[in-house]
Amino acid sequence: MLDFAGVNVVRGRKRLLKDIDWQVREGERWVVLGPNGAGKTTLLQIAASRMHPTSGRAGILGELMGAVDVFELRPRIGLSSAALATHIPEHETVLDVVVTASYGTTGRWREQYERMDQRRAFGLLHEWGMSTMINRPFASLSEGERKRVQIARALMTDPELLLLDEPGAGLDLAGREDLVRRLSELAADPEAPAVVLVTHHLEEVPPGFTHALLLREGAVVAAGPIGSTLTEANLGATFGTPLEVTEREGRYTAVARRTA
Ligand SMILES: Nc1ncnc2c1ncn2[C@@H]1O[C@H](COP(=O)(O)OP(=O)(O)OP(=O)(O)O)[C@@H](O)[C@H]1O
Ligand SMILES: [Mg+2]
């Protein structure tokens, strides 16, 4: 799904990503953790084929960035991020927000596909608990409702790779728990695409996610199977503060370690 080797991103004097080596295989569910400014969104932008590395090789779905038409690649990747949500017109309905994700990929068969598209969009909105709100303007939704619509939109093209940049941001406790449960169900679905979820919060790691990548100042601190990667030592180094980490039935929590 993803095969990054020595990926660097440089802007001015700043190295946003430093020599990133990273492989994501089919069926894997990754969480990417790191503090503000670590480079998580930058990494996801490359994975989404929306940014080129300054140097290094970024393999995406078997294609090499720079050697492939990104407009053929993008429908194969579902992306949900706060930045994308700001581009949604204020009065666009929930159903249209999801349906329009497939525009540009069906071309001249548009009319024939319209009904099928609408049915698929409705099905996804139903799965994500939004079927009663399909005619509401997107702008009128709560933060939690918007996040679910955005994920439905990201799944609309039936992508091979699903990238979620902080889907839990701005949610209240019940909203977060609802999202974690839904993402955990997605993780357990063998038909679901490979998933990469970016977050700052260990509490948002859905049970069933298989791998973790820890980023600090643009560099990988640790990467691998989730159980052996989300350790106190690795997380302390990632966030730059000593942490006490607990795990129970796949749910993680972290608090600052109290100094004696
Ligand atoms: N065009 C640019 N020029 C210079 N610096 C940039 C540019 N774009 C991003 N940065 C910087 O790169 C760093 C990484 O940004 P990025 O958005 O990838 O971090 P992040 O891990 O997603 O952070 P957050 O958790 O706050 O979303 C930040 O310090 C940011 O200010
Ligand atoms: Mg970010």
pLDDT in tens, 190-240: 999 999 999 999 999 999 999 999 999 999 999 999 999 999 999 999 999
Ion ligand 2: residues, CB within 5 A, are: 40-41
List of residues 6+ apart from 113 with CB closer than 8 A: 102, 106
116 C-alpha to center of ligand 2: Å? Answer: 34
Would you tell me which CATH number, out of the four given (3.40.50.300, 3.40.50.10490, 3.10.105.10, 3.10.350.10), belongs to the domain 2-256?
3.40.50.300
Q: What percent of the chain has pLDDT over 90?
A: 78
Domain boundaries along the sequence of the chain: 2-256
pLDDT digits (tens, 9 = 90+) for 18-60: 999 999 999 999 999 999 999 999 999 999 999 999 999 999 9
Lining ligand 1 with CB less than 6 A are: 11-12, 14, 16, 34, 36-42, 200
Nearest protein CA to atom 5 of ligand 1, as residue: 11
Whether 113 has a pLDDT exceeding 80, the answer reads no
